Chains A and B, each alone.
Chain A
Amino acid sequence: MTDTVLFLLVDGLTNGLVYALLALSLVLVFTVTRVVNIAQGEYVMLGALTLADLLQGRMPGTLYLLIGGLVLCAVLDAGRWRRDWRRASLYTGGLIVAGVAALAVTRGALALQLPVIGMMAVALLLVAPLGALIYRFTVHPIPNASTIVFVIISVGVSMSVQGLGLLIWGANPYPVDPIAAGGVMMGPVFIPYQSFAILITALLAMGGLYLFSEFTLIGKALQASAMNRLGAQFCGIPVNLTGALAFLLAAAFSAVSGMLLAPLITANYEMGFMVGLKGFVGGAMGGLIDYPLSLLGVMIVGGLESTSAYVASAYRDVLVFSLLIPILLWRNTRARAEAR
């Protein structure tokens, strides 16, 4: 019995950590831009499949997505600089340099056959900028649209990106090497090294976000925009800069989450949606604004999931999601009491 409990605990914790990165992404995006990003899970898929490609020595399709996005960005912004040739050439030049750099880094990494960690870094470099590009294409043009419009737009983004995933990688699942193979017996429970890797990477990522937010001025600006948009504008902080940055960081976090998850479940083009959903459920328990509560939320989701899988696997989702409602009712009463 204790064995089972221990196993479930470890399993739930591992799941929870993976969803935690996603929940953090959602909270980050929502607080800074007020967008409930249904497409967040797609970066999980992109991260996992990009890593799979890199580990098998193939040029990842993500690179072409990135270059296509940069070109589209240059086209859309061409009009903005019509009269200012210096800034126009600087801007376009920057986009070209970014594209070439991405290509060079990818080729270099493939030639050097970097270890898993190195390839993860390269994959991150390819996926994260996509977040900022998506912001430029879908949020930047209509800053004052309603929540529901952004929700549906992000559904559209999710569909397109998932379709692109299918187009690039096909429907087959890809195996992804873990950061470390094997595992260790701790007392009665076998714990794979990947679980430790997930724990360490997740903590590093969260620690990184913390350091960035606390010790850089840009990080502070991001926090400031999340706390008070108008106040941030009065400081001269451009809304579009922080919005794009939030999307970029969120894409990075979700991609890391995908790269950690992939070795456990194999990567495929439709893995993002369900993971995204669970991250959303966790994040939404904190009202999409509260980081610690969101972490608690995803841990609850992770725990419920592994427990219900053990109890009655057919009713797994039913149980997880039915248990959510009482939790929500409780949270709602608390939130209202705090508002008073």
Chain B
Amino acid sequence: MNARAMLALAVSAVLLIVPWLLPSFYVGIFAYAGIYALAAVGLVLLLQAGQISLGQGAFMGLGAYGSALVARAYGVDTMVTLIGSVCATALIAALIGFITLRLRGHYLPLATLAYGIALAGVFTAWHEVTGGASGLDKIPPLRLFGFELLDDRLYTQLIWTITLLTVLGLSRLRTSRTGRAIATLEAHDGLARAFGVDTTVLRVKVFVFSAVLAALGGALYVHLLRFVSPSPFALLTSFKLLIMAVVGGPMSAAGGVVGALAMEGAQWTLQDVLARWGLSGNLEVIVFGLILVVVLLKWPQGLWPAVERWLPKPSLRSREGDSLPRSTLSANRDEVLLRLDDIGIRFGGLQALKGVNMELRRGEFVGLIGPNGAGKTTLFSIISGLLRQTTGRVTLFGRPLTADHTLIRQGMARTFQHVQLMPDLSLIENVALGAYCRTRAGFIRGLLALDGEENRQALASARAALERVGLAAEADLAAGSLPLGKQRIVEIARALVADPQILLLDEPAAGLRFSEKLTLVRILRQLQAEHVTILLVEHDMELVMGCVERLVVLDRGRIIAAGSPQDVQADPAVIAAYLGGGRDKAA
């Protein structure tokens, strides 16, 4: 066991003993802090996936009312109602998520605000059932396997046990197949899809899980308080949870706990101190607001990253042993893998591509070049399934091109013009995303750490790929700390883990030094020797001319030349396209 795990264990032990040391008034506060932490941790996961929610309080309310009302009215065992209520909330969240997660920009947070307020409004308005604004008392206590949990200290321990186990599970998830995919959701939707992640489904899963944590928190809350009313689940709570998540630091599940403890701690300490100084309670919220502003001005990333810098590093998951099996590619150089027939595309009035015909045969190394604005990027986007052509047909392995997130399973991987790595994750984690399409473990297995063998294989493959490209020594460094040249090489390693037959490279040499370019060229040559088919879009002509077999030159949306590097270099049309025609009156 490493130092980080021992520290985590020690802190957990303290958190679980604390209820027995506190005066009884503070036990309740500490219990609520644990509940908020649980819901905030759910919000942290949501933020990591790029979603801002102002409806988390409402999901707490659904969990709370569901369990409380059924238990109170029908005398059903509270353990059953608690689980049932959480499951029901999950279903509702799945429905809401399915409807709203397609929203973009400000529309998504606005929608969460809308259903947040609407659901909270129902708790108040439907008073025949919910007791309205004044609420309902005599909510039965929680029974666990027939044992009534009446002791607040024991209950508090239960809450914190659940919260801490959730944090543990989420930190496992982060280093699992699904976790790596979730990390891409916020900023890199295109990347996730290029590596086979169905981002729509994954977003809904994350949303549902986050709602489940909130609902569980809400249900635990009512059976502790034994009273249910709408105000704890109103919009203010949603804001409070969001504050906890952001102040604690949305980069890590622990941030939710830190945020909840910091915010609740600050609030109660302030109240205490101000009362002791004989100051009015009005000051509390003023000072609290100021603290919030100052903390975020000082630590925009949240408190947890500021704390974590001083902690020992977490232990690494095993990457020893066998990699995922690599397929041997056939050497039949006549087989056409990718075929473009008469491709054309219009953007509004602009004909960006017209009549483009092209073939990619097995084992070929083809360069796609052209001056600025020639349409290279557009063509690349069509081939990788991000754009749909207006006219013509793309055929991959003899079949029409399908949705972008399915291409990698068919054997076509890509790199990106603007490097798309998760800067905070290590190289090996970044590269292991390439194995997403070749492994299966889902959300739950990741959470419960039941993905051991498969995850080990994926990481072993990632390590092998890093070795192949000469970056094994840097495997555990954060990707963002590497120079751009190496980051581009990491992208290639990630594509290799997917075991592709076709590799699409979008300006892999941009921003590289000569020595780094040399490494790049050597890797590409080696891949070619293994019969991987390569399509290279690149501006560095010396590099292109020096390594490809065949060139296709685009200018103003049309193919103006094709052939060997020597032929293309001598082609007057190409020279004119690149150096420009000059001026009529010139010289």
Any A–B CB pair closer than 8 Å: yes
Which one of A137, A141, A163, A328 contacts B103 once the chains associate, using CB atoms below 8 Å?
A: A328
Chain B residues closer than 8 Å to A166, beta-carbon distance? 282, 285
Is B114 a contact partner of A288 (Cβ separation < 8 A)? no
Is B243 a contact partner of A152 (Cβ separation < 8 A)? yes
Measured between alpha carbons, how far is A243 from B296 in the docked complex, in Å?
Answer: 20
Is A325 a contact partner of B283 (Cβ separation < 8 A)? no
Interface segment out of the listed A45-53, A121-129, A330-338: A330-338
Interface segment out of the listed B31-39, B120-128, B365-373, B546-554: B120-128
Which one of B105, B285, B292 contacts A162 once the chains associate, using CB atoms below 8 Å?
A: B285
Is B121 a contact partner of A159 (Cβ separation < 8 A)? no
Which one of B99, B242, B250 contacts A325 once the chains associate, using CB atoms below 8 Å?
A: B99
Asked if A206 lies at the interface with its beta carbon under 8 angstroms from chain B, I say no
Is B247 a contact partner of A152 (Cβ separation < 8 A)? yes
Within 8 A of A (CB), among B277-301: 280, 282-293, 296-297, 300
> Main secondary structure on chain B at its contact with chain A?
helix
Closest residue of chain A to B243 (Cβ to Cβ) is: A152
Asked if B107 lies at the interface with its beta carbon under 8 angstroms from chain A, I say yes
> Main secondary structure on chain A at its contact with chain B?
helix
- Known contacts A36-B106, A155-B239; decide if A317 and B282 are in contact (CB<8 Å): no
Which one of A149, A161, A163, A317 contacts B246 once the chains associate, using CB atoms below 8 Å?
A: A149
Asked if B47 lies at the interface with its beta carbon under 8 angstroms from chain A, I say yes
Is A149 a contact partner of B300 (Cβ separation < 8 A)? yes
- Known contacts A322-B118, A329-B99, A331-B107; decide if A149 and B296 are in contact (CB<8 Å): yes
Interface flags, A119-160, vs B, CB<8A=1, else 0: 000000000000000000110011001101101110111111
Chain B interface bracket (under 10, 10 to 19, 20 to 34, 35 or more): 35 or more
Measured between alpha carbons, how far is A318 from B99 in the docked complex, in Å?
Answer: 18
Asked if B585 lies at the interface with its beta carbon under 8 angstroms from chain A, I say no
Measured between alpha carbons, how far is A312 from B124 in the docked complex, in Å?
Answer: 13
Is B115 a contact partner of A155 (Cβ separation < 8 A)? no
Asked if B194 lies at the interface with its beta carbon under 8 angstroms from chain A, I say no
Chain A residues closer than 8 Å to B105, beta-carbon distance? 287, 335
Which one of A151, A158, A287, A324 contacts B114 once the chains associate, using CB atoms below 8 Å?
A: A324
Asked if B52 lies at the interface with its beta carbon under 8 angstroms from chain A, I say yes
Which one of A156, A285, A328, A336 contacts B293 once the chains associate, using CB atoms below 8 Å?
A: A156
Q: For A36, A148, A312, A331, which residue has the most chain B Cβ atoms within 10 angstroms?
A: A148
Chain A residues closer than 8 Å to B282, beta-carbon distance? 163, 166-167
Chain A residues closer than 8 Å to B352, beta-carbon distance? none
Measured between alpha carbons, how far is A64 from B330 in the docked complex, in Å?
Answer: 81
- Known contacts A155-B239, A315-B121, A321-B115; decide if A141 and B286 are in contact (CB<8 Å): no
Measured between alpha carbons, how far is A296 from B307 in the docked complex, in Å?
Answer: 47
Chain A residues closer than 8 Å to B296, beta-carbon distance? 145, 149, 152-153, 156
Is A142 a contact partner of B293 (Cβ separation < 8 A)? no
Asked if A198 lies at the interface with its beta carbon under 8 angstroms from chain B, I say no
Chain A residues closer than 8 Å to B239, beta-carbon distance? 155
Asked if B564 lies at the interface with its beta carbon under 8 angstroms from chain A, I say no
B203 to chain A, nearest CB (A): 15
Other A-B contacts than A156-B296, A160-B289, A163-B283, 18 sampled, CB-CB below 8 A, are A153-B292, A153-B297, A155-B243, A155-B289, A156-B291, A157-B293, A158-B289, A160-B285, A163-B287, A167-B286, A287-B106, A288-B106, A314-B124, A318-B117, A321-B114, A325-B111, A328-B100, A332-B104
Those 10 A-B pairs whose CB atoms lie nearest each other, nearest first: A160-B289, A159-B289, A156-B292, A163-B286, A318-B121, A163-B285, A314-B125, A156-B293, A324-B114, A321-B118
Name B's A-contacting residues (CB within 8 A). 47, 52, 99-100, 102-107, 110-111, 113-115, 117-118, 121-122, 124-125, 127, 235, 239, 242-243, 246-247, 250, 280, 282-293, 296-297, 300
